[in-house]
Structure 1
Amino acid sequence: MSLCFILLYISMQGVNADEMKSVTEGDSVTLHTDITQIQKDDQILWRFGPKNARIAEIYKQSHPIYDDNNGIFKGKLQLDTHTGSLTITNISITQTGVYKLTIINSKGKSYKTFRVSVYARLPVPVISSNSSQCSSSSSSSKCVLLCSVLNVTDVRDVSLSWYKGNSLLSSISVSDLNIRLSLPLEVEYQDTNTYSCVLNNTITNQTQHLNISDVYPIQCFGFTEAVIRLVISALIGVATVAILVDHFRSIRREQKRISALSGPVRAGTQYRHFYIELLSVPPPLHAPRTCF
């Protein structure tokens, strides 16, 4: 945010306006004169800013005259030749300020003041996680998510909030560009509620929805459940080894029996059968991942 814009914004605060307009950067805004038809001798004059610089004018139904005010409004102004209303297209933050309308006709002069606030487009919040911020108890596993916003160029009336469904959980707002916008949220892995992080200002918002299974694709179990699963996996592993040992001994006994009946048998053949048998045995289950 430039120093020039800050000074302009401060100067607006003490100005009484007949109408106030809020618009997002890049959009268009129209300031209406409330005239249905310009008369033959009417003069429509538009001025802008603390210096009341002329930016547009229609006199006696002639073609509109534009002054780009040192390039600020170049190619952005459109005057309605029937009503005198002023449209500003592709508006930018530098066009934030006070606009003054003067109508001069046979009845005298009339005035109307508009205060236009232009807000920068908001970025989309980013939700991140840190597995080191997991904690477990006998009944649940919890992890901390962080919603952050980068490159906020305009912090006027900006707030960052967490919602569970339509209910507000927490919110922060800042007025200093040096402060990073971020907001933590502690969630349970098995929570099925819908969460969203919302960045908003006076006229618009950006929302990032949260699917906990996308953030934590590997399940976090509670401590007790994790121990039980670990013991079960270990028992399956021990049973598998015992079966393999017994199977190996059975092969050796069979080998000795055949040797006694028909002579020596090449050990390689028996070991090859053992290797094939070994491949057919399913591997033990892996232990679950836990969060501590």
Structure 2
Amino acid sequence: MSVFSSGVFGVESVKSVSVTEGESVSLNSDLTEIQRDDEITWKFENIMIAKIYGKDNKSRFYEDSADGRFRGRLKLDHQTGSLSITNTRTTDSGVYKVTSKSSGAPLNIFSLTVYANLPVPDIIRNCSSSSPSQQNCSLLCSVVNVSNVTLSWYKGNSLLSSISVSDLSISLSLPLEVEYQEKNTYSCVCVVNNPISNQTQHLNNTELCQPCSDVIVLVSAAAAAGSLLIAAAVGIFCICRKHRKTDKEVQIRDREITYADPTFYKRHKSSATEQDNVVYTGVSRR
């Protein structure tokens, strides 16, 4: 736990307190003893959360106030009136004020910041941005769902690059290019801004920085698949063209068939009585 004071000395000075999520924190009233006729009250962001009576040393906790966030996690010291918060959460961050009824003025004001536990950074090989001909190893150092942190690459004790985020809970990634033959040790360091804590992940060059042979395999496989697709497309085109040509020839033959209208000839009647004969011409077909 870290405690810092700021502002003007006296009852209006604000003490900054920082803890990591899950830890317990004590906010002191600065009293040595509660007077019998006094009452000590605690407020969070001007919302009453706890009170202790000097007459009988009885405590009262307003567990439904402040959206019920402190339910079952507040304790009061019966002698001094100091407040303890157990199992702290990031939502406990804010301003706490302790007041004495007899004086009518704040005894202490605290600005509490509860930082989330830091994840261990993850270092991966970024083959998507590497080519087999390159002599550099492309790496990514990443952390997820973080706020108020700085993500940095160090070479020994020298800072190479860094990126920071304040209040938003986001994911951070920081790239680094390393030569394959380089044997120096790198570390990706994620640091909370105040800083309360840090987590470090060390790079193992021999394991991560190897040529991306899988990239060559993928490229070859993609090229083979592309060739198969082209061959299949050409085959389909030829088959379609052959069918179209056959259909066209049938249509042409159909157009070459000519039908002639039949012609009827009638012989003139002779003087002799005889039956009329009708002669039909044949239908020619080419």
Shorter-normalised TM range: 0.5 to 0.7
Q: Which amino acid is the alignment partner of residue 25 of structure 1? A: E
What is the one-letter code of the residue matched to 1:205? N
Aligned match of 1:62: 57
Which residue matches 2:282?
Answer: none
Cα distance in 2 between the residues matched to 1:179 and 1:33 = 37
Aligned positions of 1:270-281 closer than 5 A: none
Q: Within 5 A, what are the aligned runs for 1:76-95? A: 76-95=73-92
Decide which structure has greater helix share. Answer: 1
Counterpart among 127, 136, 143 of residue 142 in structure 1? 136
> Secondary structure of 2:104's match?
strand
Is residue 192 from structure 1 mapped to residue 183 from structure 2 by the alignment?
Answer: yes
- Aligned positions, number: 195
Determine the C-alpha separation between the residues in 1 that align with 2:99 and 2:168. Answer: 38
The structural deviation recorded for 1:115 is: 1.0
Q: C-alpha separation between the residues in 2 aligned to 1:40 and 1:82?
A: 11
Matching of residue 41 in structure 1 with residue 16 in structure 2: no
Contact 1:134–1:143 (Cα < 8 Å) also in 2: no
Change (3 A) 1:17 1:181: farther
Q: Give the 3 Å change call, closer, same or farther, for CA 53–179 of structure 1 in structure 2.
A: closer
- CA displacement at 1:130 relative to structure 2: 3.0
Q: Relative to 1, partners in 2 of residues 1:53 and 1:131: Cα closer, same or farther, differing over 3 Å?
A: closer
| CA pair 53-180 structure 1, distance change in 2 beyond 3 A | closer
Tell me by how many angstroms 1:54 deviates.
1.3
Q: What is the 5 A alignment of 1:1-292?
A: 18-49=14-45, 52-60=46-54, 61-68=56-63, 69=65, 70-105=67-102, 108-111=103-106, 112-131=108-127, 133=130, 141-152=135-146, 155=147, 157-175=148-166, 177=168, 180-201=171-192, 202=194, 203-216=196-209
Amino acid in structure 1 at the alignment position of 2:197: T
1-structure distance, mates of 2:166, 2:34: 44
Secondary structure of 2:30's match?
coil
Distance 1:135 1:170, change over 3 A: farther
**Alpha-carbon contact 1:135-1:142 (below 8 Å) kept:** no
C-alpha separation between the residues in 1 aligned to 2:202 and 2:187? 4
Seen in structure 2, the aligned counterparts of structure 1 residues 178 and 204 have a Cα distance that, compared at 3 Å, is closer
Q: Which runs of 5+ in 1 are unaligned?
A: 1-15, 221-292
CA–CA separation in structure 1 for the residues paired with 2:15 and 2:94:
12
Report if aligned partners of 1:136, 1:142 keep a CA contact under 8 Å in 2. Answer: no
The separation in 2 between residues aligned to 1:104 and 1:158, in whole angstroms, is 41
* Larger RCO (CA under 8 A, 6+ residues apart): 1
* Aligned-pair CA distance for 1:125: 1.3
CA apart distance, 1:183 = 0.6
Q: CA RMSD in A?
A: 2.5
Find the aligned partners of 2:20 and 2:58 in 1 and give their Cα distance. Answer: 30
Unpaired runs of 5+ in structure 2? 1-11, 214-286
Instruction: Give the CA deviation at 1:35.
Output: 1.5
- Residues 150, 180 of structure 1: 8 Å contact kept: yes
Q: Residue 241 of structure 1 aligns with which residue?
A: none
| Amino acid of the structure 2 residue aligned with 1:30 | S
Amino acid at match of 1:160: L
**TM superposition shift of 1:53:** 1.8
- State the SS of the aligned residue for 2:101: strand
Does the Cα contact within 8 Å between 2:144 and 2:170 map onto a contact in 1? Answer: no
